[in-house]
Structures are given as structure tokens and as C-alpha cells.
Amino acid sequence: MRRLSTQDQNFQQQFAELLAFETVNDPELLKTVDQIIADVRAKGDVHVLALTQQFDRHPATTFSQLELTQAQLQHAFDDLSDDVRQALELAANRIREFHQAQKQDGWTYVDALGNTLGQKVTPLDRVGIYVPGGLASYPSSVLMNAIPAHVAGVPEIIMVVPAPNGELNPLVLAAAYLAGVSRVFTIGGAQAVAALAYGTATIPQVDKITGPGNRFVAAAKRAVFGQVGIDMIAGPSEILVYAEGENNAEWLAMDLLSQAEHDTVAQAIFITPDQDLLEAVAEKIESHLADLPKAEIAKTSIANRGALVLVKDRAEAIQLINQVAPEHLELCLDEAEAMSAEIRHAGAIFMGRYTPEAIGDYCAGPNHVLPTSGTARFSSPLGVYDFQKRSSLIMCSEQGVKTLAKTADTLAQQENLDAHARSARYRYQS
Amino acid sequence: MRRLSTQDQNFQQQFAELLAFETVNDPELLKTVDQIIADVRAKGDVHVLALTQQFDRHPATTFSQLELTQAQLQHAFDDLSDDVRQALELAANRIREFHQAQKQDGWTYVDALGNTLGQKVTPLDRVGIYVPGGLASYPSSVLMNAIPAHVAGVPEIIMVVPAPNGELNPLVLAAAYLAGVSRVFTIGGAQAVAALAYGTATIPQVDKITGPGNRFVAAAKRAVFGQVGIDMIAGPSEILVYAEGENNAEWLAMDLLSQAEHDTVAQAIFITPDQDLLEAVAEKIESHLADLPKAEIAKTSIANRGALVLVKDRAEAIQLINQVAPEHLELCLDEAEAMSAEIRHAGAIFMGRYTPEAIGDYCAGPNHVLPTSGTARFSSPLGVYDFQKRSSLIMCSEQGVKTLAKTADTLAQQENLDAHARSARYRYQS
């Protein structure tokens, strides 16, 4: 496994190379996706059905067979074993509790002139949630996307999930039932994104689309951005673990591997000022790489994108962490809370030795949809705020408007906008 | 001017046609912009200077001549006439006051198991503000973009503004001084967006780019989205005025014209249940179209995209307004506040007869950068929240983690993520 030290002559260059990851915009892919979107807009349901038969080998012969009933969702939920149902319920309840704290309310105030100003907060009318099918079909993703929308008060939550060969993960349907999803269509790919963005005879047009997907889905989301809102385009998953003092090297190694098993391009970085701990973690990673079911994926991820970084001290680590702006950050030390105050950029911060990243993926409460590839510099975890929007409120009184109208008149004249100036002037010369 | 009535047989079709406005994605434009971005990344300052000499006919011969000093900004401010300086200061103070109410703080709570959960809020490190040059160079836009960033606590605000032939609007520089802009470069177009997104030797790389621009700027912002954050891609300006009861037709007409004068594709829509008021407003619009300095622009806007819509009653108007999701909405009636409670989608709502939209453009306090083209369905005015981001906080106690780790273990096994399951298991089997 790659070892770096901040004492290396060319450390900054090596570290920058480690972080470099650029998604290539394949022009052929973009052309294909643009064509799918245009065709779905022109032909609607018929085309979505045809592509679903073609790409997903779905046995449906009519479009209505692509919609699941609430009874089917409930059936999937009722069929769960006790331990799985309890785990799913505990996760859903905790996610709901955390996200309720994010809900924002409107406010107004009256200024010194007697004018009322404020901000109104409303939920979106209808949102679409993309859930990947096949191997990466995760019930936890259903909870993490649908519950914030539900807490925000979105009346209609439309879920799409491809069903290769007509097959579905029942746990995904159970999660949809639990999370309050309104309707489920078993479609996927760019055609599902296009159908949600523009609507078809059967699929209602939504206002925002969230959720992860393959490169066709990512390209389609980027293409419909503006027509509808989207969440971030997700890159590969990452974890950065910082540890100092007494630590269990085996725990740390497994936390790093829990990201590495996601994807061959996932990134696991370990930072410590403790050379012995660094070597102990390296050894545990090697030994577990032998016996993990997803060893092949994890090995490639660790070999190509993983790193063990030796730093002089905590201050140097803080600097590197803020440079990375990691999706997941574990701070495994006694002073984890104090150190977290120095972290400016991270999707989620897991503090102390008893907070493995994996519990954040499922049931800690905060969202597991987090900014990747350094985008924590400017973006946030998926949250209730993604399903609410604001309107400004302004109400002037007959007296209160005079000062403002005079000011607007003066400035509008400077900008050569005469109708603006006159419109304001009417209110103070009246 | 176009007149519609909800009683018309084909009203919904006519209304949908009125609202239809799609920006064409010109493939040639995208290719040009992609090339500019690639060249700026490869060649840096030299290329930005060359394009600025070429496109803006700027007389600078070295890159350093493209940066303004704080002394130049202060000089512009000191040179303002008293009335303009006072107007700008009043506007800046009110914008700052309103946006301070938007600032969000972090929070934490301890759950029933003894685990700490929360949300940390931090400002972005560095943002770029694009200010158009030439005709549409508005000092009010400087205030509306820079002040929310400043209130959020962004330490570095980098402004770019093209200076055709080396000429600048001094009021734009004065506004930059007043709003707390850190550095100003006189560059524009796709090259300015590329320089901000990737950084050059001289121009620091930013985390987010906001502000309006021409189609090159819009295409470049879309292209760098993901590398940096961006605000919405703005469409043409719009106003929707609803009036009933006692109203001054001349005031209403001028409010509609104040948007029409912005752009030939701007949209002004008047809705009322009062046929007489509708005709009175139509007449006043016609008469003012004769004497406005920007009559040519306003005439085209009114002829091509304007409309007077007669509705049966207020309930019908509310339905239409929510369908439009207008950027600016005026509610000119006695019960404006009650009616505003029924509005689900609008950028800003101006209530009562003494609240012309124009005061919102300059000095009411709320932001004038608002969602256009129906995007108020899912997005918000530019605000302090655009310059802050959140990190989730999770800290489990040794006892508190046990229930969560067991739950994560169960769910991770269902998702076939064995390293996740083991990482969780270590914490409750220890």
C-alpha cells in the first residue's frame, strides 16, 4: 500500500496526484443520452417501455406493468424477517428524527420604516428519486433520499428503480413502503431521468431528481439540470481516517476497507503522526484483503487510490484534511471534538473511536448522500433543505415605501433603467 | 397587447404557449466554450490576457494591469455624488440587514442512546462573483452577490468584470468597495469563469461562482459545475402582477414595463378578474411605450411575451400563478398577505399597492437574484445559504454505539457489504 510522508521532498506533488480524479466527459455518451432524452420527450411511455425492454430485458408488454402498487410495497415489507424489519425501522426512525431538526421555517420582521420583510419556506410539489437496480440496489439509499423529502413535506415522491430481467430486491420495496414513497416505476437509465424531468402520459413530471446512478444517469441528470433541480453528481466514495494515541489497528483497517469494497476507484486514506500505528494498520489491511468477499474490488481500490500518510503532528493533518475536503472523515483520538472545530470541509465527521463510518451509512441518522471529490468545499449532505425552497416577502406601507422608492429611483437612473425609476417615483410623489 | 381569458375554449394551450421558453443549446457555442476552458487550464494568465485583448479590446499589455487595487475601488466610492453615495449606502445596509437574518448556525443533540449528532455550518473559503460589463453593468448586482457572501463569512470574494476598451462603470467599483469585495479583475466571458474555476498563477481558484452573464458565461458556468459550485443559470427576467379592487392603472402599467425594459425576451403578465382594470392597464402600457427611453426593447417584450389575462376570480389566479412560478410576483389587493399564503412558487412576492418590484431590485433588502423560467418550483433566491455549507457530526459513546452497530451489521449484510458489517460488528462485540 502506498506510503507518503509530509517530510518527503515532493510530498505536495504526490499528494495532489493521489487526489486527482477527473470524470471524462465522453462525447459519445453525451450524444446517446441527449438522443434518449429527445426521444422520450417526443414519444413518451411507448419509448420508455421499449428502452426498458431493450436495456433491462424487462418482460413487461404494457407500460402499466412497469408500475408497482402500494400493496406490492407493503407485501415486501410484511415479508421481512423480524431482525431485518426491526433494523430497517430503527434506521428509518433515526433518519427521520435527525432530518426533522433540519426543517426550516419562514420568518418576517418589520423594519424601522414600517415595512414588512421576510422569507417564506415551502416544500417542493413533487420529486423523483433514482434508485440503482441490480448489484448496487441499496435499501439504505431509498431511506436516505425519500425520508428528507417526506420530512420536508413533499406531497408526492416518485421512485424509479430498474428491474433487470424484471427482478427486484424486495428490501428496496420494503424501504420505499417505510419511507413514504408515493409511486414506484421499475424503469432506470437516462430514459427514467428524462421521463421524470419532462413527464409522460403515465409518469408525472417532477420538480427535482435526486439519487445516485451509473454514468448514463449522471449524464442525463446534468442534461436536465435547469428543467428540474438535481442533487450533486456523485463521484466515487471516499474515506479519510485520522488517528493518534491509543487505537485498535484492526478497527481502523476495516473502516478503511469498508469504503474500498464499494468500488475499484473508491479512495481510502489513513493519516497519522504515529509510525507504528501506520504500519499496524497497513498490516491489518493486507491480512483482511485476503478474506473479504469483495477482496478483488477492495484490492484494486487500495492499490490504485489508497494511501497511508505520515504527518509531523495534528496541525499538519488538519491542513491536509481541509485540502482533501473528504466525503467521510473519521477522527479517532481523545480530542476529536476539539479537532473537528478546525475542520472546514468534510461531508460527515465521525468522532471518537466508537463511531465507524458504516453506522453513518445506515442508521446513525444523518444522511449518507454526501459531497464527494472535494465538493464538500462548497456543498452539503443531502437534506431536508434540498426539498424546500424559499420565496422573499416584501410589503411596504404607504409611508414606509417613500425612502425606499426615492433610493430606488436614484439608483435606477444610474443604471439607465427609466421604467424602474418611474415605477418607484410614483410611490413617493403620490 | 395579447389578451387571454380563462373562459377561452383553448385557454390552457394558449397560456402554455405564452410561458414556453427554451434556451437552445448551441453545439458550436459549447465547443467554443470547452476550448476556451481547456486553453485557460493549459496556459493560464497568458491566455486570459490574450482573450481579454481580443474580445474586450482591452489595452492592457501585462496581466497585472488587469487587477484593480483597493485604492482604485475606494477612489471610485469617494468620488460619488452625495445623493448616489447615500442611496448606495442605504441599499447596502438594508441588503446586509435582511441577509443577516438568513445566516444559519450549527446544532447538536444527544440521542436517547447517548450518542451526539449534529450539523456544522461553515462559510466557503473563496468565491467568485461575475459582474457583466458594458451596458448591463449594474452596481446593484455587485451588492446582491457580494453582500450575502460577506455576511456568510466568506474570507475572500473575487470579482471579475469585463472592461470593454478598458472602460469601467465607476459605480460598479464603488459598490465593490462598499460590499467588501477582496480583489477585482477586469476580465470576463468564458475565460474569466475558467480562470476562477481552475485558478491561474495570478487568479486564485474559487469554490463557487455566482452572478449573471451572457450565453458564453452561462455555458461556461454549466461546464465547470462540479469542479466548483454555481448559482442557477438565469433566464430572462419576468414579472407577474395580480390586481383586484381599487388600483392605480398607471402604477401597474409601469411595474409591468419595468421588467419589459430589461430585455426583448423579458416577460410581463398582468392577471385580474376586473375587465375594466385590464383595459385601463393596457391603455397605460400603450401610452408609456411611446415615451420610455428603452421603448424599443419594451415594445418587443410586450408584443412577443406579454399578456393581459382575465380570470373569473382570485382562486383561478392563484392556480395560474402557481403554474407560472414567477420570478417576481406583485399582489395588488387589500388581502395581499392572505393571498400570499396560497402561493407555493415564486422568487419574490411583493404585497400591497405600495410595493413596486423596482424597490426589490435595489434596496428593499431581499436579494434580486431570483429563480427564473419557472425554476422557483425548486429553487430559491440567492442568499447567505448559497455561501455556507454543512457537515454532519456523529459521535457515538462506547455504550451508545452498540444498538447502532448491530443495526448497521444487519443491514450491511443484506446489501452484501461485508467490510461494512465487520467494521460495525467490531464495535458491539468488543
Query: H/E/C letters for each residue in B230-293?
Result: ECCCCCCCEEEEEECCCCCHHHHHHHHHHHHCCCCCCEEEEEECCHHHHHHHHHHHHHHHCCCC
Given a contact cutoff of 8 angstroms between Cβ atoms, the answer to whether B419 and A257 are in contact is: yes
Residue from B254, B259, B261, B255 nearest B297 by CA: B261
Of B234, B206, B197, the closest CA to residue B34 belongs to B197
> Which pLDDT does position A232 carry in this prediction?
82
* C-beta of residue B175 within 8 angstroms of C-beta of residue B211: no
CA dihedral A372, A377, A382, A385 (to 10 degrees): -170
A134: pLDDT strictly greater than 70: no
> Does B421 contact A358 at a Cβ distance shorter than 8 Å?
yes
The answer to whether B298 and B239 have CB atoms below 8 angstroms apart is no
Non-local CB neighbours of A46 within 8 Å, separated by 6+ positions: A63
- Range name among A155-164, A218-227, B370-379 with the lowest pLDDT average: A218-227
Domains A3-22+235-364 and A27-110+122-230 share a fold: yes
Q: Are strands A3-5 and A183-185 parallel, antiparallel or unpaired?
A: unpaired
Average pLDDT over residues B354-376: 96
- To the question of whether residue A328 is assigned a binding role by annotation, the answer is yes
Q: Which fold has domain B27-109+127-230?
A: Rossmann fold (3.40.50)
- CATH number among 3.40.50.1980, 3.40.190.80, 3.40.50.1100, 3.90.320.10, domain A27-110+122-230: 3.40.50.1980
Give per-residue burial for A137-164: e unless 16+ CB within 10 Å, then b: bbbbbbbbbbbbbbbbebebbbbbbbbb
* CB proximity list for A291: less than 8 A, separation 6 or greater: none
Give the active site residue among A99, A150, A328, A345.
Answer: A328
Measured between beta carbons, which residues in chain B are less than 8 angstroms from residue A232?
A: 226
- At residue B382's C-alpha, the angle toward residues B129 and B73, to 5°, is 35
Minimal-distance CA residue of chain A relative to B110: A98
Which grid cell sits at A246?
Answer: 491509543
- What residues of A are in contact with residue B117 (Cβ under 8 Å)? 98, 364-366
B-chain residues near A423 (CB < 8 A): 251, 254-255, 257-258, 356-358
What's the pLDDT tens digit per position in B251-308? 999 999 999 999 999 999 999 999 999 999 999 999 999 899 999 999 999 999 999 9
Render pLDDT for A59-102 as a digit per residue (tens, 0 to 9): 999 999 999 999 999 999 999 999 999 999 999 999 999 999 99
pLDDT tier at A401, thresholds 50, 70, 90: very high
Q: Is A24 a residue whose pLDDT tops 80? A: no
pLDDT at A104: 93
Give residue-wise pLDDT tens across range B144-180. 999 999 999 999 999 999 999 999 999 999 999 999 9
| pLDDT of B22 above 90 | no
* Closest approach of B344 to chain A, Cα-based (Å): 6
Contact A128, A208 (CB under 8 A): yes
Contact assignment for A139 to B379 by CB distance below 8 Å: no
Min Cα distance A395 → chain B (Å) is 5
Residue A269 has pLDDT above 70, yes or no: yes
A227's grid cell? 428543467
- Inter-chain CB pairs, A–B, below 8 Å: 373
Compute the average pLDDT of residues B411-419.
94
Q: Nearest by CB to B257, which of A344, A419, A430? A: A419
Radius of gyration of chain B measured on its C-alpha atoms: 25
Using DSSP's 3-state secondary structure scheme, residue A92 falls into helix
Average pLDDT, whole number, for chain A?
Answer: 95
Q: Do B225 and A225 touch (CB under 8 A)?
A: yes
Optimal mutation site among B141, B394, B403, interface A, most CBs of chain A within 10 A? B394
pLDDT given at position B418: 96
pLDDT band per the 50, 70, 90 thresholds, residue A130: very high
Closest-CA residue in chain A for B419?
A258
Nearby residues of B29 by Cβ (< 8 Å), 6 or more positions away: B215, B216, B219
Residue of A nearest to B337 (CA): A395
Task: Tell me how far CA of residue A1 lies from CA of A9, A21, A282, A300, A349, in angstroms.
Answer: 19, 19, 7, 11, 25
Question: Residue holding cell 476562477?
Answer: B196
- Mean predicted confidence (pLDDT) in B178-186: 97
Position B325 scores a pLDDT of 97
Which chain B positions have a beta carbon within 8 Å of A149's beta carbon?
none
The CATH H-level superfamily of B235-377 is Nitrogenase molybdenum iron protein domain (3.40.50.1980)
Cβ separation B393–A348 shorter than 8 A: yes
Catalytic residue selected from A261, A327, A330, A357: A327
Kindly determine whether residue A401 and residue B359, on different chains, have CB atoms separated by under 8 Å: yes
State residue A135's pLDDT score.
58
- The SS3 of residue B219 is helix
Q: Predicted confidence band at A257 (pLDDT cuts at 50, 70, 90)?
A: very high
Helix (H, G, I), strand (E, B) or coil at B72: helix
Interchain CB distance below 8 Å, A392 and B366: yes
Q: Convert the pLDDT of each residue in A185-204 to its tens digit.
A: 999 999 999 999 999 999 99
Nearest in space to A339 (alpha carbons), one of B388, B107, B104, B395: B395
Q: Could you tell me which of A187, A189, A186, A236 has the C-alpha nearest to residue A216?
A: A189
Question: For residue B94, what is the nearest residue in chain A, using CA coordinates?
Answer: A111
pLDDT in tens, A30-59: 899 999 999 999 999 999 999 999 999 999
At residue A133 the predicted structure's pLDDT band, cuts being 50, 70 and 90, is: confident
The closest CB to that of B411, out of A87, A255, A336, belongs to A87
Contact B351 A420 (CB under 8 A): no
Going by pLDDT thresholds of 50, 70 and 90, the confidence category of residue A429 is confident
According to CATH, what is the number of the domain A3-22+235-364?
3.40.50.1980
Spatial distance between the Cα atoms of B420 and A328, rounded to a whole number of angstroms: 14
| pLDDT above 80: residue B25 | no
- Contact between B395 and A426 using a beta-carbon 8 Å cutoff: no
Q: Measured between alpha carbons, how far is B24 from B42 in angstroms, rounded to an integer?
A: 29
- Taking the C-alpha atoms of residue B364 and residue B349, their distance in angstroms, rounded to an integer, is 12
Percent of chain B with pLDDT over 70: 98
B135 — pLDDT class (breaks 50, 70, 90) = low
Given phi > 0 = left and psi -120 to 50 = alpha, else beta, which region is A80? beta
Give the pLDDT of residue A416: 92
Q: A329 and A370 in contact (C-beta within 8 Å)?
A: no
Which amino acid, B186?
T
Amino acid sitting at position B77: F
Which helix (H) or strand (E) segment holds residue A210: the answer is strand A208-210
The set of residues, in sequence order, having a beta carbon less than 8 Å from that of A108 and lying 6+ positions away, is: A116, A117, A118, A119, A393
Confidence of residue B199 (pLDDT cuts 50, 70, 90): very high
The SS3 of residue A126 is: strand
- Chain centroid, CA B23 distance in Å: 17
Beta-strand ranges (E) seen in B318-398 are: 328-332, 348-351, 388-395
**Annotated binding-site residue? A361:** yes
| pLDDT score, position B112 | 95
pLDDT of residue A201: 97
Compute the average pLDDT of residues B110-123.
97
Q: What is the CB neighbour count within 10 angstroms for residue A55?
A: 17
Residue pair A130/A210 in contact (Cβ under 8 Å)? The answer is yes
Among A87, A391, A397, beta carbon nearest to B349: A391
Q: Is the pLDDT of residue A344 over 70?
A: yes
Q: Is A130 labelled a binding residue?
A: yes
pLDDT band at B213 (very low <50, low <70, confident <90, very high): confident
A394 contacts B348? CB cut-off 8 A: yes
Q: What is the pLDDT of residue B21?
A: 82
Q: Please list every residue in chain A whose beta carbon sits closer than 8 Å to the beta carbon of residue B262.
A: 417
ipTM over 0.90? The verdict is: yes
Q: Which of B354, B378, B397 sits opposite A229 (nearest CB)?
A: B378
Find residue A209's DSSP bridge partners. A128, A230
Provide the annotated binding site of B.
130, 191, 214, 237, 259, 262, 328, 361, 415, 420
The distance between the two most distant Cα atoms of chain B, rounded to a whole number of Å, is 83
Average of pLDDT values for B203-210?
Answer: 98
What is the distance between the alpha carbons of residues A265 and A300, in angstroms, rounded to a whole number?
8
Domain ranges of chain A: 3-22+235-364, 27-110+122-230, 396-429
Classify B142 as helix, strand or coil. helix
- Asked whether the beta carbons of residue B258 and residue A377 sit closer than 8 angstroms, the reply is no
Active site residue A328: yes
Set of cell numbers at residue A71: 400493496
